[in-house]
Amino acid sequence: MSRQTIVAANWKMNGNAELAAQMCRGLNDEEFNANHQVVICPPAPYLALIRANISNSQIACGAQNINENEKGAFTGEISALMLNDLQVQYVIVGHSERRAMFQDSSELVTEKIAYALASGLTPILCIGETLKERENGQTEARLSYQLAPVIAKVGIESFKNIVVAYEPVWAIGTGKTASAEIAQQTHEFIRNYLASFDADVAQQVPLLYGGSVNAKNCEELFAQADIDGGLIGGASLNVEEFKKICQAV
């Protein structure tokens, strides 16, 4: 069985109600490969609007973050219960901006992953290294450091229900993109690392590339053996460009 391919749109703190409606209209009539999933992750205020406007069964809605607690006095946070209530299926966890700006440690990311899984959500686990770490030959050590606590907490079997997104921090929103060869080498390392715990599970995990993916470079990136789609930032704010990326898989 071939792995599921996924293209997820991470709007970050961008977009509005008009874009949400336009994106759904633009994608609802598209025909995708039967094994392909499109996920739209807008800011939290637009989750319900996206959900209400999706009519294509191969399009899903995802959140950009989740709190590790079921409920409580956590002003401004969003819980899995709320996402379930909105019929949200995916949630981005551990994005580099969350790790850097909001101090989401690998331990906290692990707790969020565990809670998302227990709540029936599919986490998109983001991992990646900084430019300094890559230049110092620390890429593999950094990725292992981010994956290890998740595996220890939820077990390798749980990765059948986790999507892993590799996002080199130095290529997010910078216009820089890892070459297809470098991206493939890193994805191959990630799959081999997972395979060191369970080879069968590793072959089932969708691995996405994120880092200034656009309509011009997506085909070469997605053609690589261990790249199963992308987590798309800026290019996902343009309906026509995002449609091209979705079709490129």
Q: Cβ-count burial of 72 within 10 angstroms (0-12 exposed, 13-18 middle, 19+ buried)?
A: exposed
d(CA 89, CA 123) in angstroms, rounded, equals 9
Convert the pLDDT of each residue in 65-82 to its tens digit.
999 999 999 999 999 999
Whether the Cβ atoms of residue 122 and residue 162 lie closer than 8 Å to each other: yes
Q: Cβ-count burial of 64 within 10 angstroms (0-12 exposed, 13-18 middle, 19+ buried)?
A: buried
Q: Is 111 helix (H, G, I), strand (E, B) or coil?
A: helix
d(CA 208, CA 74) in angstroms, rounded, equals 31
Convert the pLDDT of each residue in 122-166 to its tens digit.
999 999 999 899 989 999 999 999 999 999 999 999 999 999 999
- State the Rg of the chain over Cα: 17
DSSP string, 71-94: SSS-TT---HHHHHHTT--EEEES
Which one from 97, 111, 133, 167 is the annotated catalytic residue? 167
In one letter, which amino acid is 143?
L
Q: Is 143 helix (H, G, I), strand (E, B) or coil?
A: helix
Query: pLDDT grade, residue 113 (50/70/90)?
Result: very high
Convert the pLDDT of each residue in 157-190 to its tens digit.
999 999 999 999 887 767 777 899 999 999 999 9
Convert the pLDDT of each residue in 193-217 to its tens digit.
999 999 999 999 999 999 889 999 9
Which one from 68, 95, 111, 129 is the annotated catalytic residue? 95
Binding-site entries for substrate: 10-12, 173, 212, 233-234
pTM over 0.85: yes
d(CA 113, CA 124) in angstroms, rounded, equals 9
Taking the domains of the chain in order of start, what are their residue ranges? Answer: 5-248
Check whether domain 5-248 has CATH 2.40.160.40, yes or no: no
Indicate left, alpha or beta for 183 from its phi (over 0: left) and psi (-120 to 50: alpha): alpha
Q: Is 38 helix (H, G, I), strand (E, B) or coil?
A: strand
Pairing verdict, β 229-232 and 163-166: unpaired
Q: Determine whether 167 is an active site residue.
A: yes
Q: Which of 120, 29, 17 is nearest to 66 (CA)?
A: 120
Binding-site entries: 10-12, 173, 212, 233-234
In one letter, which amino acid is 16?
N
